[in-house]
Structure 1
Amino acid sequence: MNGAAYTTATGAFNDRYQPTSTTATIPSAAGGLAGTYTWTYGYNPETGALLWTLNPAVGDIPSERVTGSPVGSGAGAVSPGDAGP
């Protein structure tokens, strides 16, 4: 947007080389959504399966932790405002 850079970065990796956090930066030229947003992830220590994602707060929308089960199981839950594991 007008030469301003949108960036993404991986913050860290666990011992299985899975990302434990990622950050997106939206430039001020984007207006109201400009800022830095970080997602964090939790994994099953035995299988490495993704257990939860903590989505960042955006504007008036609070952060939310999304948990899930293996693909196709139909299970999963969302916990609005949950600030951590």
Structure 2
Amino acid sequence: MPKAKVTKDSRPISTASSGASRTPVKINTGGTPMWYKVIMFGLMILGLAWLIVFYIAGSQIPFLAELGPWNYLIGFSGLIAGLLMTMGWR
């Protein structure tokens, strides 16, 4: 294995910086606000719940029976909107 080349400049490396503060600073990363997460998960749960209720009791609930196949659009739209919102989650 080759050895590393030694430089002629053999100054000691100083550990003290030139007046800069060494205290850690918390950087604001711009996390996702709580309301965004609530809406995102709410849409996914609401869409899933709509589809489950439609499958189980769709013919017994007059409102859902009138909508017919539009129930699929409503349920999957909620799911997809929530999933698309996950791309903005940090």
Give yes or no for TM over 0.5.
Answer: no
Rg larger for: 2
Tell which has more relative contact order, 1 or 2 (C-alpha 8 A, sep 6+): 2
Which structure dedicates a bigger proportion of its chain to strand? Answer: 1
**Larger helix percent:** 2
